Structure 1
Amino acid sequence: MPRVVFTPQLRRFVEIPEVETSSAQTVREALEAAFVVNPRLRGYVLDDQGHLRANVVVFIDGRRMRELKLLNDPLRPDSTLHVLQALSGG
């Protein structure tokens, strides 16, 4: 069953669940399962159009997600999504 893991950086702002979902077949479906557990998390991950925020990166089984708007990258039953805040420096 796909698993969604959030990095600790988001803990400063919102409680971070680690979610396993038996029905998720896409990234969006897996994220929606996490948002059910904590709805406030949605605003930190998605923008007003439901697209991945520019400062968020998602890896599926160690590979960076390709589709940032529809979030329809497919998942395997044993996939792990890592949701990270992208860091910028200066």
Structure 2
Amino acid sequence: MSTESKGPVATEIENRLRAALSPSHMAVIDDSESHRGHAGHNGSGESHFTVEVVAEAFAGKNRVARQRMVNHALAELLVERVHALAIKARAPGE
């Protein structure tokens, strides 16, 4: 996955999820522009994201456990920089 067109926060999200989960597929989508004027949007972008992650680490885990794994990997960013995060977490084959 190329990070050339991604901002620094999206790139950091990708790096942290790769390190924590070794995903076979990952997409980090910056949804910030669609939240312009809403709470948490400060005009600088990179505040609202959707992550789609497919990882073997999710096998046998329920939705809440999967979301906790993603949130744990991104904990500092969620406090410091990311206002909203939508998570789509699946195990391979799902």
- Of Structure 1 and Structure 2, the greater helix share is in 2
Larger radius of gyration: 2
Q: TM-score, normalised by structure 2?
A: 0.31
Q: TM-score, normalised by structure 1?
A: 0.32
